[in-house]
Structure 1
Amino acid sequence: MEIERIEGHPVFRRLAFERGCLGLVLAAAMAGTYFSYILTIAFRPALLAVPVTDDSVITWGIIAGAALLSFGFVLTAVYVLVANTRLDALSRRLEEDLR
């Protein structure tokens, strides 16, 4: 059967493994960063309430929140970069091998 032929192919196995590892690493990085932020809000909110400078209305909490949002965009860019280079190359190789 065609599905078994694809699933048994070493390039497919490599592609599935690399995509899974990439997703797991990026998700763990985002989750760890997000939960650190949330736990700081829950248990040490005074840390995030400190103004950036003495006469500023912007606090470190706002900076940390913006950094967290930016980190999500960076992780998305990393995923797109790896997917468009390494994973697409493996997909093309798999397609060529299965013709």
Structure 2
Amino acid sequence: MSSAPRPFRITIPEADLADLAERLDRIRWPDELPGAELRAGRPSPSGVPTAVANFPGDNVIQVLAGLSNVVTRWREYDRGGHFPALQAPEELTSDIREFFRSLPDTL
């Protein structure tokens, strides 16, 4: 069995494309939040202690977490996935509780 990609063609009616274009033109995007401007392509630092629970399949979180957060806790899990509240609720709940217990009362 060959795993090489095979070309295919998809036909979308012109009326559907026109409808999509009209809908996209009507999207109302939210205004930029104060202090959320990009600096050299990165979000402004938040200064907020942040915990990361990295579940299998969510590899992008590692890149995003450190961009504008002060990561004070990082955990890797063997089970779960993109929806850990459904796939690994015990691990997620335990991790959230441990993180908040570790924060100083002055926050």
TM-score (norm 1): 0.28
Q: Which one scores higher on RCO, CA 8 angstroms, separation ≥ 6?
A: 1
TM-score (norm 2): 0.27
Q: Which has the higher helix share?
A: 1
Q: Which has the higher strand share?
A: 2
